[in-house]
Structure 1
């Protein structure tokens, strides 16, 4: 049995607490937040825990093995550093920190202290995303040419960060998990349509060593909500639509075959349109799989898939893309 405490009960904290409360092998001891109303709301649902506004109470409690952080980005670095300093493993809701510099220092400190850092990139533990990676790695799609990803909706506009910091961690984690490689070129552009100085639409372009190119569309200003990734290969194509309630993954036997001319004529192109199928996908809740993975890491001391280094890869890209986005305004 491992003892966990959670700091932050705002937007995502209630989901994390619901899940860790349900997992065998985890004993929840503290719930911490600066908002008394939030703590009272939590206490109604979970009356057996200790509720506090004092984070030091948690850090100094030697019974606590791990801390789950679901606080604003700017607090991730100081709180995680303090947790590790007091001998705790840490789960940090994405992104790991607000800068590459902070992430590097945090990871270095955790390794020195032999503590686990896990970053809450939930899509890494999503059954559809895992199925997508399985299909890509199997070679069924052939050589991957390009990836397009759209994550758009109407709102919510943030006052202190761009749409890249808000939405890009999702798509970057999916693409990096699926490809197992980092981009060699990153560019971004967009505009601040509603609030001056706060970009609400962005387009990120990535080029990888394998020559795969990817484009990510992000927006708080769209008529409908869209969460879709398209992977185009030399043999087949795949669509992952997270908003589809039934068939989140669809594989299309579509492509183009080129025959070289036998004389000095033109190349002959044949457009192939075959069947479509939707693979069977596990229905496990990604957040449960994620937190079970963190528990396993705490017990075995083996790094989880979305460890600190994985989180650093995401922040590095976001930081660079965000700079290029602001340069484009």
Structure 2
């Protein structure tokens, strides 16, 4: 049996709601930058009877134990896997450990949520997808922005056709830091924009090119520009940087009828729709009659009710475990994003050469 990795979930496919039931225990492995946010959301949502927090660093464990006294802390991953009450494991460890820890958790018959990216290669990601299917466990990837209300609104606006035919997407994600030691800026930051763009457009790029440079740590680029080429001439540009004086989280979508700007740093009004476009005179007799006209219309700001995306992601993970539903950001979603990053890395090492994006088929073992 084979799973075709190119199939996308439709916007309505995950609209199913379920009566929420609590899990016995959820374990969060990795209590560095992001793991404590998972511990907080599990406690606040009440989606598990017990929370287990695992990290090698005693200071991190002590901090979680102080903030959440009911949490059981441990430094032993093996004990987490051996605990029969632990039904799900959330992995928020360094990227290079994602595959091995997720594999071991699935083999221990735990459902697994892996923070982005799912793995460091398409082959590893595909193996995790196959293993989850074989063990009949949920495999979900922490593409948190896909649970963000403004991003979901962006997707719906594109799907509605309000913008017209999509010409291009341009995303910038920049800040001063945080420099990483195990992955470059594309694997750290562009992973967000890739997941957003793939979901919003509902298709995979055919080819990718990537240029970048490392200024502080050899072989780990701190600034990069990715170009994704889709079918029908649609193109997407992603600029990511750890070396920028300003925090920028902005995506522009340009269509044949209207244009949209999503600014995640805006305190309010994160999405603006601009009634701007270029019109071409449909009929003309001679080349000298050929003219462009420019439309400058109104700006529309849609109302968006926001909830913390991580809270929604947490509840969705538990719902999928309880009901057997396919997660919105399932293993195949993670595999597609890793495949784009893998092609970008190959392009980067080859001087920015345009590189095909190849998503492996996933065969059950």
Question: Above 0.5 in TM-score?
Answer: yes
Are 1:214 and 2:232 an aligned pair?
no
| Distance of 1:50 and 1:184 partners within structure 2 | 46
Q: How many residues were matched structurally?
A: 329
Q: 1:137-163: per-residue Cα shift (whole Å, max 9, x none)?
A: 011101100000001112222233211
The structure showing larger relative contact order (alpha-carbon pairs under 8 Å, at least 6 residues apart) is 2
Structure 2 unpaired stretches of 5+: 1-21, 353-365
Identify the match of residue 295 of structure 1 among 294, 298, 318: 318
Using structure 1 for the length normalisation, give the TM-score. 0.97
1:317 aligns with 2:317: no
Summarize deviations over 1:249-287 as a string: whole Å, max 9, x none. Answer: 000000011113432143221100000011001111111
Equivalence for 2:292: 269
Helix, strand or coil for the counterpart of 1:276? strand
What residue in structure 1 maps to residue 124 of structure 2?
102
Any residues of structure 2 matched to 1:142-291 within 5 Å, and which? Answer: 142-264=164-286, 265-291=288-314
1:220-256 Cα offsets, whole Å, 9 max, x none, are 1112111100000010000000011111000000001
CA shift digits 1:32-58 (9 cap, x unpaired)? 110011100000011112211111111
2:331 aligned with 1:308:
yes
Aligned-pair Cα RMSD in Å: 1.3
* Preserved CA contact (<8 Å) 2:89 2:105: yes
Using the alignment, how far apart are the partners of 2:90 and 2:180 within structure 1? 24
| Paired residue secondary structure (1:146) | strand
> Could you tell me which residue of structure 1 aligns to residue 18 of structure 2?
none
Do 1:153 and 1:225's aligned partners in 2 also have CA atoms closer than 8 Å?
A: yes
Equivalent-residue separation in structure 2 for 1:224 and 1:29 (angstroms): 37
Counterpart position of 1:28? 50
Contact 1:190 1:328 in 2 (8 A): no
Q: Which runs of 5+ in 1 are unaligned?
A: none
* Cα pair 1:135 1:141 within 8 Å, conserved: yes
Secondary structure at 1:222's aligned position in 2? strand
Residue 25 of structure 1: how far off its partner (Å): 3.1
Instruction: Report the Cα offset of residue 216 of structure 1.
Output: 0.5
